[in-house]
Structure 1
Amino acid sequence: MIKEFCAENFEHIPQAIEAGAGRIELCDNLAEGGTTPSYGVIKQTLSYTKEKNIPTMVMIRPRGGNFEYDEAEATIMKADIEICKKLHADGIVFGCLKAGWLDEELIQSLLEQAEALDVTFHMAFDELSVENQYRAIDWLVDHGVKRILTHGGSAKTTIVENIPHLKKLISYANGRIIILPGAGIRFDNVNQVFSQLDSSEAHGTKIVNV
């Protein structure tokens, strides 16, 4: 079981790894749901996590707010992916939508830029209708995305309330892509989540006791 610690900058990463985090998602600005951290933060974090043999995924998101990006923002995202490649990140995390569906063109462009990096499609997934979530799983599988980070429902709901829908998503994915439950998973309920879901990974800012 992998406990992915969602880190805002470098500050708590050493303690999180000591407490049992098996992977890091590196962000800035968690009050906005996470944006791309600075070059210096990425470099320092990767220097540390590689020494500890802990995989690190870097958020690629140029701003808070919605997940529809214009051409200038797309250019920024591609440049940030290039930085992640040069600094030897293990993977990246992004999500792009357009008119209630995936922004297929931009996602494909970012995937091409990512090359061999692992890719997680983040909680933009939760903005899709339930019907489109199943369609999105198929599309993301077909395009080589490794995992989908999802709360399984509205941010107003608890992770425990969303377990029935998460079970359906995991069943539908059927091992083709990892469904990564997140948001509201804490060190004191993560074992409950693992026990109820056929999932080998979970994500959260408090998933280990830092």
Structure 2
Amino acid sequence: MLIKEFCAENLTDLASLTAPEISRVELCDNLAAGGTTPSYGVLKEAASYLHDKGISLATMIRPRGGNFVYNDIELRAMEEDILRAVELESDSLVLGLLTPDNQLDTEAIEQLLPATQGLPLVFHMAFDLIPADQQKAAMDQLIDYGFVRILLHGSAERHDIFDNVNHIKNLIDYAAGRIEIMIGGGVTADNCQKLASLTGTNIVHGTKIMR
């Protein structure tokens, strides 16, 4: 069965979601900047509402738009946001942390891990910025850190996702079930089944995956 994750910027569209058509919601704010951490109040209401519907909640942890290179102050803010998300019963946390040369920021990941308290971790589309020939090694590192899922589009340039099918399939084959690969960026209700078939994933993500 195809697992659909709806990307929600606020509470507006949650009333129209039903399980099992939508299995999970990634909740964020400020989609124009690629998504940032939702407010405490929005997160609290979303968690309660979605859980009543049988839909799980993934919370974006990102203090600002722009790049994914964070300083010490930003990392401390992310720790606090993680603690609040855990407190409000998020089912998973969505993170992306890179160095200035687009490698995994392992020091930052290790700093944040204790705050996550074992909650499932997702690495978001920052993964696309890692050089393609180094993504398999990065995947191995994320598996070692306990990440359960990677959201990716298949290219940093945001080409049509159909142009990225071969690369995505190659990564999914390499993952070999050790970590879930979820596709997003141009995935819609009309094309998600075809993309899933072409790439071999059964998890799709987006703002337009429901009719």
With the shorter chain as reference, the TM-score category is over 0.9
| Residues 28-177 of structure 1 mapped to structure 2, 5 A cutoff | 28-98=29-99, 99-177=101-179
How many Å separate the matches in 2 of 1:101 and 1:115?
Answer: 24
SS in 2 for 1:162: helix
What is the match of residue 203 of structure 1? Answer: 205
How many Å separate the matches in 2 of 1:66 and 1:137?
Answer: 20
How many Å separate the matches in 2 of 1:31 and 1:54?
Answer: 25
Residue identity matched to 2:156:
S
How many Å separate the matches in 2 of 1:8 and 1:102?
Answer: 26
| Ranges in structure 1 where 5+ consecutive residues have no aligned partner | none
SS in 2 for 1:176: coil
SS in 1 for 2:163: coil
TM-score by length of 1: 0.96
Return the structure number with greater relative CO, CA threshold 8 A, min gap 6.
1
Once the two structures are superposed, what CA deviation does each residue of 1:60-101 show, in whole Å capped at 9, x if it has no partner?
000000000000000000000000111111011010001321
TM-fit CA distance, 1:155? 4.0
Residue identity matched to 2:174:
Y
TM-fit CA distance, 1:198? 1.5
TM-fit CA distance, 1:116? 2.1
| Ranges in structure 2 where 5+ consecutive residues have no aligned partner | none
How many Å separate the matches in 2 of 1:199 and 1:97?
Answer: 25
TM-fit CA distance, 1:19? 8.7
Aligned Cα root-mean-square deviation (Å): 1.2
Decide whether aligned partners of structure 1 residues 163 and 5 sit closer, same or farther in structure 2, where only a CA change above 3 A counts: same
For the 8 Å contact 1:92–1:117, the answer to whether it is kept is yes
